[in-house]
Amino acid sequence: MYGISPDPPEAHQVVADQYNLDFELLTDVQGEFGFTHEFIEEDQTIYRGYLAVNPDSNELTKEIDYLPGENVNEVLDVLESMQD
């Protein structure tokens, strides 16, 4: 699992240290991933969300999350269902 944002690596390190994250945060400063997967709009609005890929089946699921943190159980259910 990775976290991806347009923030620079220095900012990621602060967040990783602050929240004791056990996954890598990747930088998308140019917004290529964000634009491609619709997490960043043309007007530079940035949305949180997730994109998950099952490595066995290449099944992909994505959700743009307008209320981050309020649907943790739903996200976990989706990820678990992809493992079946």
Could you write out the three-class secondary structure of 21-75?
A: CCCEEEECCCCHHHHHCCCECCCCCECEEEEEECCCCCCEEEEEECCCCCCHHHH
Structure tokens at 64: 């743009």
Q: Is the pLDDT of residue 68 over 70?
A: no
To the nearest whole number, what is the mean pLDDT of the chain? 85
Structure tokens at 33: 């991933």
- The model's pTM is 0.69
**Which of these, 16, 78, 14, 12, lies nearest to 50 by C-alpha position?**
78
At residue 55, the pLDDT reads 85
